Amino acid sequence: MKTDDCRIAIGDGLATIKCRGTRGTTVARILGTVEADGMEVICLDRLVHGIFESELDGWQVAGAVTTLLSRPIGPRHGVHH
């Protein structure tokens, strides 16, 4: 499921996730980043997406214990940093 009501901000060693309709903001440490096969992948230290979510704010999300954020490398439109 695609969720358009969340915003992901990638900063210096941290990812911040804010979803509309929630009080809090989730902050996760970035464990590492990889660029391969035209994709940028960021590994977070915790799970920040729900079981039925596959996309947040233009990022593909996956993972059972921690979240992996991935998207194509290149110009980004509508992504917040």
CB hemisphere CA count around 53 (13 angstroms): 21
CB 69 within 8 A of CB 31: no
pLDDT tens digit string along 40-63? 999 999 999 988 899 999 999 999
Q: How many helices (H) and strands (E) does the chain have?
A: 0, 8
Q: To 10 degrees, the CA torsion angle through 37, 31, 13, 17?
A: 80
Query: Which range (19-28, 29-38, 39-48) has the least confidence?
Result: 19-28
Buried b (16+ CB within 10 A) or exposed e, 11-26: eeeebebbbeeeeeeb
Of the segments 10-14, 16-20, 21-25, which one has the largest average pLDDT value?
Answer: 10-14
